[in-house]
Structure 1
Amino acid sequence: MVHVARLGEQRVPFLHREHADEAVARWSEDWPDHPAAVEEWDRWRWEHQGPGGASTIRDRVPERTVVFHARALFLPGGERATAGLPEQWSVPAWEFETDRFTDRASAWRTARRPGPGQEVEAKVRGTDKDAVEAAFAEVCAQAVDRAQNPGKYGDTDEW
């Protein structure tokens, strides 16, 4: 048997039932409004019909951490735009949530958004709140520079 923890829309397979139960219990604490349950699948069914097949079956409970985020948006010229969304927030994330999980203290990037607005987005995420806050100041400075000097970052055809 494969013990599949259904966590929201994701299915995470486990070799041992107690690991699936623990994942469901912890997920339910984090996301009480999202469905969470354990399903029993026979191994053949999981290997042939489950996402990822046999290689995704876990023999331990996945890592979970709180990931801190910060984001800002800058207009061409460097003026900060009001995004209407929170500038900083935190969420629990599990290692199987590859789009949200990180084990780094902080990581940041800037990106020019496509389209006529040419805004520059600054993003930071990490597991250390102080490191994320320090990196946020640094990424915002780079985003302002990128908004003011698009050619320096390869954001224009003239570069």
Structure 2
Amino acid sequence: MCASYGVFVFLLFGLVTTQGQITTSPPAVAVSCASKSNSSCAQCLQDASCLWCAPNKQCLDYPAKNILPPKSVCPLSDARWGLCWVNFETLMITLGVLCGVLLLAVLVCCLCCCCRRRRRQRVSDDDEDVRAMQQTRARNARQKERRMEMQQRHDKIRQKYGLNPYLRMDDK
């Protein structure tokens, strides 16, 4: 949703900045990749739809049907696309390794965040248990103090009126 919103804002900004005037550039003359054969790799790869095959110095149309150019067109170790100094095989291996490292980094970050969250939750649960035990101890201590105070008051009243709970009425 955010990406589509960004595209919408970009298009809206483009419409506002042109102030209603739509300009078109003259159509570019399409030059086929085959016409650039036997030239240089740099000239061939100026067009992103071209593929340079180094051993036979041919500039070919990139086979858009396939993700990777088939071996019949040009071996991957000899194919150049985008940059003259990087062959297609090295490019694919490098991209694969970078994607793998990126996925591994994201996975490690997610696992670290989850473990940290669990550890925090465990610590907070332990803190709550300790706090509850401390409150229970404090409550029991206050209750014990109140019982002692009540017992002292009752003993004073018994002394005042000469009541001994241990003597029976018959013994008087």
| Greater Rg over alpha carbons, structure | 2
TM normalised by structure 1 equals 0.23
Greater percentage in helix: 2
TM normalised by structure 2 equals 0.22
Greater percentage in strand: 1
Higher RCO structure, 1 or 2 (CA under 8 Å, sep 6+)? 1
